[in-house]
Amino acid sequence: AQTVTQSQPEMSVQEAETVTLSCTYDTSESDYYLFWYKQPPSRQMILVIRQEAYKQQNATENRFSVNFQKAAKSFSLKISDSQLGDAAMYFCAYGGNTGKLIFGQGTTLQVKP
């Protein structure tokens, strides 16, 4: 069975600085997708970024980028130029052949002004 692990329950970053959130996963599938979702205090789940496992190039969305290491089964999220609005709980998720998402435990990000 697939698993997703986020080993950092809480992280903090100074406004305008860069922070990296860690995620590792375990799978025997060769074709899969990885996601980072953000859940602010409103609790609305918002897609931050998506990565197809067959693509070697790391996905980027404005200030958000990932470091996808397929062999190491690692999928970290880098947030550059952090803003107060980035404060939220971040979930790493794995999507495989079943179509279901398997979520990590989440990392709460605090942004300090």
**Residues 46-105 close enough to bind another protein by CB under 8 A:** 46-47, 50, 52, 89, 91, 95-101, 103-105
Number of residues near another protein (by CB under 8 A): 26
Q: Quick one: CA dihedral 4, 8, 14, 20, positive or negative?
A: negative
Residue with smaller CB distance to another protein, 9 or 81: 9
Report strand pairing: 88-95 vs 107-112. Answer: antiparallel
Stretch that binds another protein, among 12-20, 44-52, 68-76, 79-87 (CB under 8 A): 44-52
Q: Which residue has the tokens 């300090």?
A: 112
In angstroms, rounded to a whole number, what is the distance separating the alpha carbons of residues 74 and 69?
5
> Any bridge partners for residue 61, and if so which?
64
Footprint of another protein on this chain (CB under 8 A)?
31, 33, 35, 37, 42-47, 50, 52, 89, 91, 95-101, 103-106, 108
